[in-house]
Amino acid sequence: MKAIFLANNKGNIDYVYAEENINRVASLCDIEKDKVYTEEEILANPEPFKDVEYIFSTWSMPGGGEIKLIDYLPNVKALFYAAGSVRYFANEYFEKGVRIFSAYAANAIPVAEFTVGQILLASKGYFQSSALAKSGDYKKASEVSLARVGNYGANIGIIGAGMIGRKVIELLKPYKLNILVFDVFMTEEQAEAMGVKKCSLEEIFSSCHIVSNHLANVPATQGILKKEHFEMMMPNATFINTGRGAQVDEEGMLEVYERRSDLCALLDVTISEPPVEGSKFYTLPNIFLSPHIAGSQGWEVRRMAELVIDEFENYLNGRPTLYEITPEKLAKMA
What CATH code is carried by the domain that includes residue 66? 3.40.50.720
For 115, how many CA atoms within 13 A lie in the half-sphere containing its CB?
32
Edge-to-edge strands, sheet with 52-57: 36-37, 2-6, 52-57, 78-81, 99-102, 324-325
- 186 in Cβ contact with 198 (< 8 Å): yes
Residues 80 and 112 occupy one common structural domain: no
pLDDT in tens, 112-122: 999 999 999 99
Q: What share of the chain is helix, strand, coil (3-state, %, to 5)?
A: 40, 15, 40
276 within domain boundaries: yes
pLDDT in tens, 4-33: 999 999 999 999 999 999 999 999 999 999
pLDDT in tens, 160-186: 999 999 999 999 999 999 999 999 989
213 within domain boundaries: yes
pLDDT surpassing 90 at residue 218 = no
Residues 310 and 270 occupy one common structural domain: no
Q: What is the number of domains present in the chain?
A: 2
Which of 264, 211, 200, 243 shows the shortest CA–CA distance to 112? 243
Cα end-to-end distance, the chain, whole Å: 32
58 within domain boundaries: yes
Residues 19 and 54 occupy one common structural domain: yes
Residues 123 and 263 occupy one common structural domain: yes
164 within domain boundaries: yes
Residues 94 and 201 occupy one common structural domain: no
Residues 222 and 304 occupy one common structural domain: no
321 within domain boundaries: yes
Residues 163 and 20 occupy one common structural domain: no
Could you list the residue range(s) of the whole structural domain that residue 276 is in? 108-289
Alpha carbon distance 207, 210 (integer Å): 9
Which of 289, 239, 283, 245 shows the shortest CA–CA distance to 265? 239
Name the amino acid, one letter, at 300: E
Q: Give the pLDDT score at 203.
A: 98
Residues 237 and 320 occupy one common structural domain: no
Residues 152 and 91 occupy one common structural domain: no
Alpha carbon distance 5, 29 (integer Å): 12
Q: Give the pLDDT score at 146.
A: 95
Residues 85 and 126 occupy one common structural domain: no
Give 183-242 as a DSSP string.
Answer: -TT--HHHHHHHT-EE--HHHHHHH-SEEEE----SGGGTT-B-HHHHHTPPTT-EEEE-
Predicted TM-score (pTM) of this structure = 0.89
pLDDT surpassing 70 at residue 244 = yes
160 within domain boundaries: yes
Residues 112 and 248 occupy one common structural domain: yes
pLDDT surpassing 80 at residue 279 = yes
pLDDT in tens, 131-150: 999 999 999 999 999 999 99
334 within domain boundaries: no
Residues 122 and 268 occupy one common structural domain: yes
126 within domain boundaries: yes
pLDDT band at 217 (very low <50, low <70, confident <90, very high): confident
Which of 159, 192, 195 shows the shortest CA–CA distance to 178? 195
Taking residues 47-62, report their average pLDDT: 97
Q: What is the mean pLDDT of the chain?
A: 96
Q: Would you tell me the crossing angle of helices 104-122 and 163-172 to the nearest 10 degrees?
A: 50
Alpha carbon distance 284, 24 (integer Å): 49
